[in-house]
Amino acid sequence: MPPAGRPRPDEAVSAGLVSWLETALDREAAASPDPGAPAIHRLNRAEYRNAVRDLLGLDLDHARDLPADDSGYGFDNIGDVLTVSPLHVEQYVA
């Protein structure tokens, strides 16, 4: 989307940009082929409550029954820090 009053780039310019971007991304991916172990990200209590409210239309505070969230680096929504305990699983399906 060009700025107001500016012409839209033609197909050749757009194709050149796409080609350059693909090349740059492929080069960066090849330079760092191992991104590390992925963390399974569970929702913290606030995120879980909001998701239930948004998806199901239920404004229940079932999240208060979940175990307290661990925090790391001052945040409670870092995937490496949030674990899924058997108690979490039990409360999620209750």
Residue 7: left (phi > 0), alpha (psi -120 to 50), or beta? Answer: beta
- List the one residue out of 70, 61, 53 whose CA is nearest residue 91: 61
Q: pLDDT by residue (tens digit) across 5-29?
A: 999 999 999 999 999 999 999 999 8
- List the one residue out of 62, 64, 82, 58 whose CA is nearest residue 72: 82
The answer to whether residues 72 and 32 touch, using CB atoms and an 8 Å cutoff, is no
Entry pTM: 0.50
- Alpha-carbon distances of 43 from 9, 38, 81, 88, 93, rounded to whole Å: 42, 15, 11, 11, 15
Greater confidence, 9 or 71? 9
Query: Which pLDDT score is estimated for 1?
Result: 65
